[in-house]
Amino acid sequence: MNAMPTSIIPLLEKMGELQASDLHLKTGVPPVYRVAGELRRTNLPPIPVNSRIIERLMDPIIPPTRKSVYEEKGGLDFAYNLPNGDRFRINILRSCDQMHAAIRRVKGRIPNFEELRLPPIYRRLAEETGEGIIIVCGVTGCGKSTTQAAMIDHINETQALNIVSIEDPIEYTFTPKKSIVSQREIGLDVHTFADALRGAVRQDPDVIFIGEMRDRETLMAALQAAETGHLVFCTLHTADTMQSLARILEFFPPDQHNFIRSSLANALKAILAQRLLPAIDPQISRVPACEVLLGEAIVKEKIREGGDTDLPEIIAGSKEAGMRSFTMSLAELVEQGLVFMDVAMEYAPNREALKGQLTGIKTSAQTLVHRVKRTGTS
């Protein structure tokens, strides 16, 4: 493409060719793809300011019933499917009275645990079901939604349960297998997460999948559902397990913290934090480093009593199969030949601790060669 297309479709199809995770449309610059975590400008001309080109590209795929939301609030989330099965999570926003767009590509097929290179504890948690809350956390673009989709779809494939999902927007579409599945989209099927959660507990669910915990009411409803016999999956935009606990408490005034700690301790099944690192093999692109906090008795006690600062030591020293720190996960990735040591060091919360766990050293020169090989033009 050397000229700006008149439809958004070619730009979306190009994401599949490039294996791009994101497409950004902003005035003043050409369309930009994110490939293997790196932003790459296309060779298209910059989108002129005040040209309304982005509005013309996006208008045909914006759900007609949602256009008024963008006009009123200056932003909108929705999803779009290509005929080949590729699905896109789209955010449009108003910036200096211009429309900008951030488009995330979601593959039509849900990958399994092996393809995602997730540790065995993820499969075990999906197979245990029962009641409780599983929180998947990480920064934007770390693969939280894909990880949750893999866990939900594993339940769907292996157990006869009733699964209710509440998302904004729906990303992965689940095809009922052994389980039955209802997916509700905020703005299309129901007004708010809290409204959807209140309805979900009356729909005889075994598993409730919440796209994101955004406010006090949603979090409270999720905890109550987990305490009353449901398995609840949800996400938080936090970097690690410790930040997740702090963020949960931030939703509530201090005089309610003891109550929330007690509720969370009762309900917690696991907090799963992840970060994506550039892989040595360009065919793999990125691999996850995972921190796992399981709701064991000692963990519940520390949460209930406010001893959060002891949790990293508990994770690092735990004999419980599946509990792991980011340091342990990073060391495994290096020793398995999936990432270079230099890359692991960039993401390490404690570099000295990581060095202590590694038996081999990958040089900066190797990392530089790897990065040069990964760099290309779109």
* Residue 359 confidence (pLDDT): 63
Residue type, 232: V
Cα 74 to Cα 31, 43, 68, 221, 373: the distances in Å are 21, 29, 10, 28, 40
CATH architecture of the region 113-324: 3-Layer(aba) Sandwich (3.40)
Tell me the average pLDDT of the chain: 90
Average pLDDT over residues 53-78: 94
* Residue 106 confidence (pLDDT): 86
Statement: the pTM of the whole predicted model exceeds 0.85:
no
What is the residue extent of each domain of the chain? 9-106, 113-324
* Residue 319 confidence (pLDDT): 65
Is the pLDDT at 376 greater than 60, yes or no?
Answer: no
Question: Mean pLDDT lowest for which of 109-113, 199-203, 269-273, 357-361?
Answer: 357-361
* Residue 320 confidence (pLDDT): 66
How far, in Å, CA of 347 to CA of 114, rounded? 22
Average pLDDT over residues 57-79: 93
Taking the CA of residue 62 as centre, how many other CA atoms within 13 Å lie in the half-sphere pointing to its CB? 22
Average pLDDT over residues 204-217: 92
* Residue 192 confidence (pLDDT): 87
Q: 133 is written with which tokens?
A: 């809350």
How far, in Å, CA of 217 to CA of 161, rounded? 26
How far, in Å, CA of 301 to CA of 229, rounded? 21
Residue-wise pLDDT for 277-300, tens only, equals 999 998 888 999 999 999 999 999
Residue-wise pLDDT for 5-58, tens only, equals 999 999 999 999 998 999 999 999 999 999 988 999 999 999 999 899 999 999
Max distance between CA atoms of the chain, in angstroms, equals 62
Residue-wise pLDDT for 88-115, tens only, equals 999 999 999 999 999 999 877 899 999 9
Question: Residue 367 — very low, low, confident or very high, per pLDDT cuts 50/70/90?
Answer: very low
Is residue 241 left, alpha or beta, with left meaning phi > 0 and alpha meaning psi from -120 to 50?
Answer: alpha
Q: 42 is written with which tokens?
A: 């296309």
* Residue 129 confidence (pLDDT): 80
The number of beta carbons lying within 10 Å of the beta carbon of residue 36 is 19
Average pLDDT over residues 257-264: 97
* Residue 365 confidence (pLDDT): 37
From the list 176, 157, 154, 118, the residue with the least C-alpha distance to 322 is: 118
3-state secondary structure of 128: helix
* Residue 152 confidence (pLDDT): 97
| Whether 310 contacts 245, CB under 8 Å | no
Residue 331 CB partners (closer than 8 Å, separation 6+): 344, 354, 357, 358
For residues 189-227, one letter each, b for 16 or more C-beta atoms within 10 angstroms of the residue's C-beta and e for the rest, the string is: ebebbbbbbeebbeeebbbbbbbbbbebbbbbbbbbbbb
Residue 235 CB partners (closer than 8 Å, separation 6+): 135, 136, 137, 144, 145, 148, 210, 211, 212, 213
Q: Check if CATH label 3.40.50.2300 holds for domain 9-106.
A: no
Question: Residue 318 — very low, low, confident or very high, per pLDDT cuts 50/70/90?
Answer: confident
